[in-house]
Amino acid sequence: MTKLTVSEAARQWGLSRGLLYKDMHDGKLAYEKDNRDKKRIDASEMIRLYGQPVSNVQDGESVTVTNVSGENPPSLPSNDEMLQTLLKTITESKPDFHSAEVEALRDHLATLKDQLREKDRQLEARNSEVSALLDQIRDMSNRLLPAPIDDDYAETEPEQTSKRRWWQIRRKVEILD
């Protein structure tokens, strides 16, 4: 059978070259290297792994491939028909999707509200503890005796001393000697 380059095989079977290289690397697709060290794939190997080619491209012409039994392959829906079917499926399932999403969001909101109520309750408990502690502090401070006031030790203004520099202190020491 004929040997094909990776690009030719990918074009005829409608596959990506990356897929073919991956399958060659994984050992699923057998290949040979030619004298220029290019990878060549036998057409029978491509048929074995991927089935009949989508189209035979030669000189820009597209040839329709028939099944082994000689029949034309069943007609596939056009892109427009497929898009219409997909759009219909999406629009029909859309309310279910949105209702499920809304229900999940409602459940999440209820959980968050419960958590908020619990935090408010904890905050209220902490505030009551703090106010009780402040009451205890005020009560204890009222029980303490005030500090005694000593008239002899009344606050007086300190004596005003002039600042002396080091040379003035030295001179005073010399005078005293």
pLDDT, tens only, 116-132: 999 999 999 999 999 99
Mean pLDDT of all residues in the chain? 76
Antiparallel, parallel or unpaired: β 55-58 and 61-64: antiparallel
Tokens of 30: 């057998």
- State pLDDT tens for residues 80-102: 677 777 777 766 665 555 677 78
The predicted model scores a pTM of: 0.33
Task: Examine the pLDDT at 62 and tell me if it is beyond 50.
Answer: no
Alpha-carbon gap, residue 99 to 79, rounded angstroms: 30
Alpha-carbon gap, residue 58 to 11, rounded angstroms: 11
Alpha-carbon gap, residue 164 to 132, rounded angstroms: 57
Task: Examine the pLDDT at 57 and tell me if it is beyond 50.
Answer: no
